[in-house]
Amino acid sequence: MAGIYIHIPYCKSKCTYCDFYSTPQVETMEQYVHSLLYEAKLRQEEIPHQFNTLYLGGGTPSVMPLELMSQLINGLKSTFDLSHVEEFTIEVNPDDVTQEYIAALMQLGVNRVSMGVQSFNDGELRAINRRHTAQQAIDAVSAINDVGISNISIDLIYGLPGQSLESWRHNVEQAIDLDVQHISAYCLSYEHGTRLWVMREKGKVQEASDELCIAMHNQLTWMLKQTGFEHYEISNFALPGYRSLHNSNYWNYTPYLGLGAAAHSFDGTTRRYNPSSIKKYINALNNNRTAYTEEHPYWFERLDEEVMLRLRTSDGLDLDIIANRYGDQAANALFCKAQQFINQGLLKMNNSTLALTPQGVMMSDNIIRELMWD
Ligand code: SF4
């Protein structure tokens, strides 16, 4: 199985922490959808697998008017065989959600909604220039539920400027009260080139300490586990039966086709990167050619990436799979390097599968670095 990712690089405004490619200039959107559908046609044979997931991400896909969205989705349906798609996700922002919009998306086949909430505290939302209030997020979840979509994911961020442990606990309580099926939670990171980075350099915001972020992460995992969520990837939690299939495909190193400006693809051996420029992307397709550049990672680069992705999941890293793909030498080397962490209680080994322990999760970056081949 494989996944299709469609990138919609439009946002009404820029959140201070965001380093994703997006633009508020929506006047190119119609042309962009034409280019996307043309790219889909040119690349429809690239991944020789059945697709089980379709994901519209951004940017903010929900800024796209319904008529154009319907053209896009119907165009994809006429290009690809989507009869095996089990999960069709769209990312939305709370301020775009109306019952009419979600009902129309559902008619088009969407069965999962992922919403960027980030915080249920209006002061914290303003501090990162989110364009919605906490109440709008709460109302949006209820509108999505009312329409009949029962697979809802929300994103939260902890370690926000000025956020206390107490405030974070309220955020998690509110998320639990909404009865959503999936929660992704990330520690705020300061990326070079973002407004947040500049604000920190000028002393206008202070970065949360590592200790506070660890305490917030621990509180989150404890509260969600009490509520029945499975902590199935370092930053992701799901009620039983609601793990994200699309993201699990990435973590299981399954091929995916990414279409649109700034989208990436991976067919099992080759990576393809579309330019982070709507103009360059549209120009290439107007000239009847694809826009991507290719990279052919060495086998050990793929091995390192697979180790990193699989170890982040609770399913862990099966050394039999590694031996099949990269040879016994690679699997044996991993096993030897893992011993010290097993002895320290940071990794556990179950049959042929290595996985992080709860203590290991807090040190995952260091452990994964030590397990790298390169
Ligand atoms: S809505 Fe999402 S993609 Fe758009 S600026 Fe904010 S974080 Fe970035």
pLDDT in tens, 168-194: 999 999 999 999 999 999 999 999 999
- Side-chain half-sphere CA neighbours of 255 within 13 A: 16
307 and 207 within one domain: no
With beta carbons less than 8 A apart as the criterion, state whether 249 and 243 touch. Answer: no
Identity at 246, one-letter amino acid code: H
Residue 15 lies in a domain: yes
Ligand 1 pocket residue status of 128, Cβ below 6 Å: no
Phi, psi (5° rounding) for residue 258? Answer: -110, 125
- Using the 3D structure, point to which of 215, 233, 251 is the last residue of a domain: 251
With beta carbons less than 8 A apart as the criterion, state whether 240 and 230 touch. Answer: yes
Residue 267 lies in a domain: no
Helix (H) or strand (E) holding 36: helix 29-42
Nearest CA owner, ligand 1 atom 2: 59
Residue 292 lies in a domain: no
247 and 303 within one domain: no
Residue 56 lies in a domain: yes
Domain count, the chain: 2
341 and 205 within one domain: no
**How many whole angstroms from 347 Cα to the centroid of ligand 1?**
35
Ligand 1 atom at shortest distance from the alpha carbon of 58: 3
- Using the 3D structure, point to which of 228, 251, 274 is the last residue of a domain: 251
343 and 202 within one domain: no
The enclosing domain of 307 has a CATH number of 1.10.10.920
Ligand 1 atom at shortest distance from the alpha carbon of 14: 5
With beta carbons less than 8 A apart as the criterion, state whether 34 and 41 touch. Answer: no
Nearest CA owner, ligand 1 atom 5: 14
Query: Per-residue pLDDT for the chain (374 aa), expressed as one digit of tens each?
Result: 999 999 999 999 999 999 999 999 999 999 999 999 999 999 999 998 999 999 999 999 999 999 999 999 999 999 999 999 999 999 999 999 999 999 999 999 999 999 999 999 999 999 999 999 999 999 999 999 999 999 999 999 999 999 999 999 999 999 999 999 999 999 999 999 999 999 999 999 999 999 999 999 999 999 999 999 999 999 999 999 999 999 999 999 999 999 999 999 999 999 999 999 999 999 999 999 999 999 999 999 999 999 999 999 999 999 999 999 999 999 999 999 999 999 999 999 999 999 999 999 989 999 999 999 97
Domain hosting residue 21, numbered range:
2-251
241 and 343 within one domain: no
Place of tokens 């011993």: 339
Ligand 1 pocket residue status of 262, Cβ below 6 Å: no
The enclosing domain of 138 has a CATH number of 3.20.20.70
Ligand 1 pocket residue status of 18, Cβ below 6 Å: yes
Nearest CA owner, ligand 1 atom 6: 15
Residue 168 lies in a domain: yes
pTM of the model: 0.96
- Using the 3D structure, point to which of 251, 271, 291 is the last residue of a domain: 251
Residue 272 lies in a domain: no
Alpha helices in the chain (DSSP H): 29-42, 66-79, 99-107, 122-127, 134-147, 165-177, 195-201, 210-226, 245-251, 278-286, 299-311, 319-326, 328-343, 358-361, 364-371
Ligand 1 pocket residue status of 58, Cβ below 6 Å: yes
Ligand 1 pocket residue status of 161, Cβ below 6 Å: no
